[in-house]
A and B are shown apart, each in its own frame.
Chain A
Amino acid sequence: MTVTVTTYETATEAAHAIAAGTSTHFLGGGTLIMRALNEGDPSVRSIVMTGDIAMKQIRPAGAGMEIGAAVTMADILGSHDLGFLHSAARAVGGPAIRNMATLGGNLFARSPYGDLATALLALDGVVVLASGGGMREMPLSEFLAGRDGVAKGVVVSVRVSRPATLEAFRFHKVSRVRPKRIAVLTLAAHLPMNSGRITGARIAYGAMAPTPIRVPAVEQALEGASLDEQGIARALAVACEGCAPANDAIASEWYRREVTPVHLKRLLLGQAA
């Protein structure tokens, strides 16, 4: 199989090449596209890359942070400003994978992968995308829902809210094997508190649908609730609403549905995963 590799100066130029090409894929850290090449995936005929410095930057953006798509899990772990994402970045692969895998690539990881994307969803992630028509932005939830349709472009960065306190953001990865683990499910929650009540909760799951998803039913049930057993009871009752988990080698759909309320409870009450 013949593959061509072309490197462009900027993400915009790379996006133009993707828009103009067929079977053309963007190579970030390599953990998805090189894997496809090794498997002889015939849909990978052309690869584009860029060394665009904007995609490696981590910088404050308003009240939040903007993280370049080429930032690796190891870069996140090395960033003091991104301390709230350390638990999610550490959940991805082993040390070698974390030196390679990028934030941008994680948005394209197939279920049950995509742990970081789950965390970004709970932090109101907004995707900055270079496409043939120029730069545009869209909520991460919208990007993930239409992921396969909007891929004619290059993810440049993702903007996220910075949690008010470290305790306000929680992340659990549930797996059968430690320390390297593939998710049975992944849970992320942003729980801003006002006078002891939750206000504006964001809940996201990984491995509970074909892509990481927000869980609006749980978010609504938590609005105004206190973070105790009584306060979260309604949220636990609707823990799996809107979910469509897969049967795969890691867990069955039934099992994932059964254990989701258990792990959601542990997450919300601050108990160990």
Chain B
Amino acid sequence: MSKKPLQFTLNGANKAVFVEDGQNLLDVLRREVGDFAPKYGCGQGTCGSCTVLIDGKPHLSCLTLAERSEGASIETASGLADGPDLHPLQDAFMEHFAAQCGYCTSGMLMAAKALLDHTPTPTREEVVEAIAGNVCRCTGYEPIINAILDAAARGRRFSA
């Protein structure tokens, strides 16, 4: 099986790996780079637990052919915290009990980050739409929606 060189940035850090033909980006992130934040759930594009940002936009890493990420800027939930300081979304998820088993959480956080990066003051409907591709089987979604709205409100307070 042939291997191809691949370079990209992961949460701002340069990465260079060799990938196999047909290997998906999630597999490269977890096995080759050691970033275990994005999760393998369904492998079909249904659950959203593998959501990462590619050049600022949410993508499903399990359905992304790794070699197509050449030169891309990839963000995962591993890059959200700044040392001991959690990202406002992470803080809000904790305070609102928006994570139970936690399997969907990294995908939810990245879907939410994609929203808040472009729409800092979203409506509830916009939040619901933003996480519409992410399945949670624990929370019933309400705590997640409330957490994202609270994180947006905190952002407003920070910038005020």
In the bound complex, do residue B63 and residue A34 qualify as a contact, i.e. CB atoms below 8 Å apart?
yes
Bound form: Cα–Cα A30–B62 in Å: 9
Segment of A2-10, A60-68, A148-156 engaged in the interface with chain B: A2-10
Q: How far is the CB of A14 from chain B (nearest CB, A)?
A: 15
Map CB proximity to A onto B43-70 as digits: 1 under 8 Å, 0 otherwise: 1110010010000011110111101100
Bound form: Cα–Cα A34–B45 in Å: 9
Say yes or no: is A179 at the interface (Cβ < 8 Å to chain B): yes
Chain A residue nearest in CB terms to B19: A5
Given the interface contacts A3-B22, A37-B24, A38-B24, does A96 sit within 8 Å of B65 by beta carbon? Answer: no
Bound form: Cα–Cα A179–B128 in Å: 7
Q: How large is the interface on B (under 10, 10 to 19, 20 to 34, 35 or more residues)?
A: 20 to 34
Map CB proximity to B onto A39-52 as digits: 1 under 8 Å, 0 otherwise: 10000000101000
Say yes or no: is A199 at the interface (Cβ < 8 Å to chain B): no
Segment of B29-37, B82-90, B130-138, B146-154 engaged in the interface with chain A: B130-138
Bound form: Cα–Cα A5–B65 in Å: 10
Q: How large is the interface on A (under 10, 10 to 19, 20 to 34, 35 or more residues)?
A: 20 to 34
Map CB proximity to B onto A173-186 as digits: 1 under 8 Å, 0 otherwise: 00000011000000
Given the interface contacts A95-B114, A96-B58, does A179 sit within 8 Å of B132 by beta carbon? Answer: yes
Given the interface contacts A35-B45, A94-B134, A95-B111, does A27 sit within 8 Å of B21 by beta carbon? Answer: no
In the bound complex, do residue A30 and residue B63 qualify as a contact, i.e. CB atoms below 8 Å apart?
yes
Bound form: Cα–Cα A4–B132 in Å: 34
